[in-house]
Structure 1
């Protein structure tokens, strides 16, 4: 645990969320009801790949909504994490999906993907 995590309760909560699942998406809304188009696009990509993931609704907590931006040093939401590693936001996720890089990343990290996506 970093010194900053010890002094920043939001960062401790974020680290706990990231550690709780292999794939975590910090998003506006929920996987079932995304509240912005960018979050919805990333949910669609993950669903297409058949990747099990945990959605964290940043609209439920101002502390988490600002905290995740500070934690990753990334200004926008959604934010995708795979095996504790920050991947990026909607644009990066979409580009990686279109190039096949996201599928390869998931497979290389041992994340289950849908057969049809391969």
Structure 2
């Protein structure tokens, strides 16, 4: 399975997927940590995280998959939502909570 197929499988198998640096328990960058905190505040159950630092192919591949240059990246029901700044904005507006509730 190539990297793009693997990424597609990850984002379609799990309702909420966060590609991040580190893990939910031990984020390796501030932006990833903030994304995890926001998702926890939204009450996400079963958050699936992918540590891009463990796999260079995934780290580069996710940027191509989404056509988005930065990590973290959030996917809900297979759809790319955005990175850290977008998550903050959507959380503040209440939009993120609605998307997560629907997932």
Query: TM tier, shorter chain?
Result: over 0.9
Among 44, 57, 64, the alignment partner of 1:63 is 57
Instruction: Tell me the TM-score normalized by structure 2.
Output: 0.95
The aligned counterpart of 2:5 is 12
Structure 1 match to 2:27: 34
- Give the Cα–Cα distance (whole angstroms) in 1 for the partners of residues 52 and 62 of structure 2: 9
Does 1:75 find its partner at 2:62?
no
Bigger Rg, which one: 1
Question: How many residue pairs were aligned?
Answer: 102
Report the TM-score, using the length of structure 1 for normalisation: 0.83
Unaligned 5+ segments in structure 2 are none
Q: Which runs of 5+ in 1 are unaligned?
A: 1-5, 112-118
SS in 1 for 2:59: helix
Partner in structure 1 of residue 38 of structure 2? 45
**Residue 106 (structure 1) shift:** 1.8
Match of 1:25 in 2: 18
1:21 Cα deviation after fit: 0.7
| Structure 1 residue 49: Cα displacement | 1.3
